[in-house]
Structure 1
Amino acid sequence: MKPGPIAVYGAYGHTGRFIVDELLRRGWTPILSGRDATKLAAQVARHRHLEGRVAGIDDPASLDRAVHGAVAVINAAGPFLETGEPVLEAALRAGAHYFDTSAEQCAAWSVYERFDERAREAGTVAMPSVAFYGALAELLVMAAMDDWREADGIDIAVGLDSWHPTQGTRVTGERNHWPRWIVRDGSLQVVPSPPLTRAWRFPPPLGEQEVTMLPLSEIVAIARHVRCPRVHSYMNSAPLRDLRDPATPTPQAVDERGRSAQTFIVDVHVQRGAVTRRATVQGRDIYAVSAPLIVEAMERVVTGSVSARGARSAGQLFDARAFLASLAPEPFVLEVGA
């Protein structure tokens, strides 16, 4: 028997719907919540046995009602620079664990830096960026490092065959004006301008591609607990062209689970001395894959398989290889080697 319901804020959004379906598949009871009463009502109509609770980020009382009785809160409503702190505050008041799908570096940094002590005092975990961008790359880094306690350099490359962004992705990009960070000389530093480009040899079918430096929230998580003087993240050119083109449509479902045809590769190289270790995943639909990642993390925390409290990242809290292996071969194929 599950210990209690899970409040999903932004439950009617593109990623939020995948998360609700994943919770139901695993036997959890989601509480559907969000700012838009009309969209929320439409989702409740599709899940008549579930409760919907409208809540605005500028209305703490409504957020308290939205998370009341929940053992955990999953925030899938961006931009997280706007929603993260109000929803996390409500989770803390309710004594509920908090998880979100943010790719925004500053939003993740805020959770770690501002809420660690308060989450410890509340006896809860606050975990940002448990999604394709953020936790997946960080877990791959930890899987590649294995028994290494430090590294000389870490390079992360994301390869997408295309990127049809959601409306939420576009709005976040328009409102997020914070500079991006990489790790250089052992500390967070602003990405050089213009961003660096280089060649990267992905596994088939992508092969060799030009990639551009594009660090996201994985950098902030890795910098907190991995001893390494240099951590860089890149993305290949095709999805960046799609993202910049306002005519690129939103994702279109092509299977019964609502996934698009988009494919991805995340390829991580960790170097120490003359040895390079590599960890790679290949899969489908960057939005859909975020659902099993965040629900698996929530499930492990709520059911007590991990006991740490405070603001924590997925790579800090979980055994990376075991966590990733528990999800393969669906939703992705995992390879780790030297």
Structure 2
Amino acid sequence: MNGRLLVYGATGYTGRLVAQHAVETGLDVVVAGRDPGRVAELAGELGVEARAFDTTDAVEAIKDIEVLLNVAGPFRDTARPLMDACLDAGVHYLDTTAEFATFTLAESLDERATRAGIMLMSGTGWDVVPSDCLALHTTRRVAEPHKLTIALRVTGGFSRGSLASAAGIEDLGTLVRRDGELTRLEAAVPRTFDFGNGPEECLPAPMGDLITAPKSTGLGDVEVYLGTDSGFTDTSDGPTADERAAGHYFALAEVTGRDGQIARSLVTTPTGYTFTQLSSVEIARRVLRGQVTPGYQSPASAYGPELATTIAGTTIVDLD
């Protein structure tokens, strides 16, 4: 691995976790962001190079970089200019977004990225690595898969940046995939799912899986649900190390075949920030090793369902 990884937004809560782990993994890391003082301070702590630049002036700053990992939310402000810069500079682009619009943006740039020979991948963290890998795993268990349903259960506190990224999710309404098309339902009808501790109520949610799951599985009928107790609790500067180490997150996938066959599988992971720290660096490491498919890719379309279980503390269990 001779290439360099630039972590943009490295001074934020998630960015700092990711940058630290990337350095510990032995990657050649550059930390970057908008604030010269904060970026220089972090670079000094980690013993790496610092670069301060605005997203609108990124092309010159990244020309010697192999992979850019964007951890700077809200991604509605940073994703487009950084994707454009990567396409112009020939740099592979990754981000840790959970914002629906960022997934649709990356998908829309597929042809341009393919021509440029670079890979665009949004959702290299808990959104959407475990659920995307689980979706492909479960789909492969059904002879003639037709419909995919994903349910997510998350708990715990969130950083200021994560809450900013989550703002406006209600405005998207109730979205599902029907025959390959995004469709807005008139009403959000709840369903119950069992993540291992009895039935829990979940509501349809406009998550990135509505974009990534069709890419990875080829299915045109997709629904995503979020547990109703999956609240966004403000912990200001983000969860402590002890809080990150406590508990688990869950995703359940249900695939229905054309013959009525139903397969269900469950993925259990560390809490979201811990998983994101590990998974985003693992994906960056693979890209630096040349494991790249040009164009827009989801985690599972690029690296298969096994990617999730390479992350420490992550298991997939077939329920039926």
TM-score of the superposition, structure 2-length normalised? 0.90
Contact conserved, 1:150 with 1:228, CA < 8 A, in 2? no
Contact conserved, 1:158 with 1:235, CA < 8 A, in 2? yes
Q: Percent identity?
A: 23
Q: What pairs with 1:1-338 in structure 2 (closer than 5 Å)?
A: 2-47=1-46, 49-57=47-55, 59-60=56-57, 63-113=58-108, 115-146=109-140, 148=142, 151-160=145-154, 162-174=155-167, 177-179=171-173, 181-190=175-184, 192-203=185-196, 206-224=197-215, 226-240=217-231, 243=232, 250-255=237-242, 259-272=244-257, 273-306=259-292, 308-320=293-305, 322-327=306-311, 330-336=312-318, 338=320
Q: Distance in 2 between matches of 1:50 and 1:65?
A: 19
For residue 239 of structure 1, give the secondary structure of its aligned residue in structure 2: coil
Letter in 2 for 1:16: G
Letter in 1 for 2:160: Q
Contact conserved, 2:98 with 2:165, CA < 8 A, in 1? no
Moved more, 293-302 or 12-21: 293-302
For residue 119 of structure 1, give the secondary structure of its aligned residue in structure 2: helix
Letter in 2 for 1:288: T
CA 1:250–1:211: 2 relative to 1, 3 Å? farther
Moved more, 95-104 or 29-38: 29-38
Contact conserved, 1:7 with 1:66, CA < 8 A, in 2? no
TM-score of the superposition, structure 1-length normalised? 0.85
Contact conserved, 1:251 with 1:260, CA < 8 A, in 2? no
Q: Distance in 2 between matches of 1:305 and 1:337?
A: 32
For residue 222 of structure 2, give the secondary structure of its aligned residue in structure 1: strand
How large is the Cα RMSD of the aligned pairs? 2.3
Measured after TM superposition, the shift of residue 296 of structure 1 is 2.1
For residue 287 of structure 1, give the secondary structure of its aligned residue in structure 2: helix
Q: Distance in 1 between matches of 2:157 and 2:37?
A: 25
**Corresponding pairs, count:** 318
Q: Distance in 2 between matches of 1:78 and 1:249?
A: 15
Q: Distance in 1 between matches of 2:17 and 2:143?
A: 35
Return 5+ residue gaps in structure 2 as ranges. none
Q: Distance in 2 between matches of 1:127 and 1:144?
A: 22
Return 5+ residue gaps in structure 1 as ranges. none
Contact conserved, 1:135 with 1:218, CA < 8 A, in 2? no
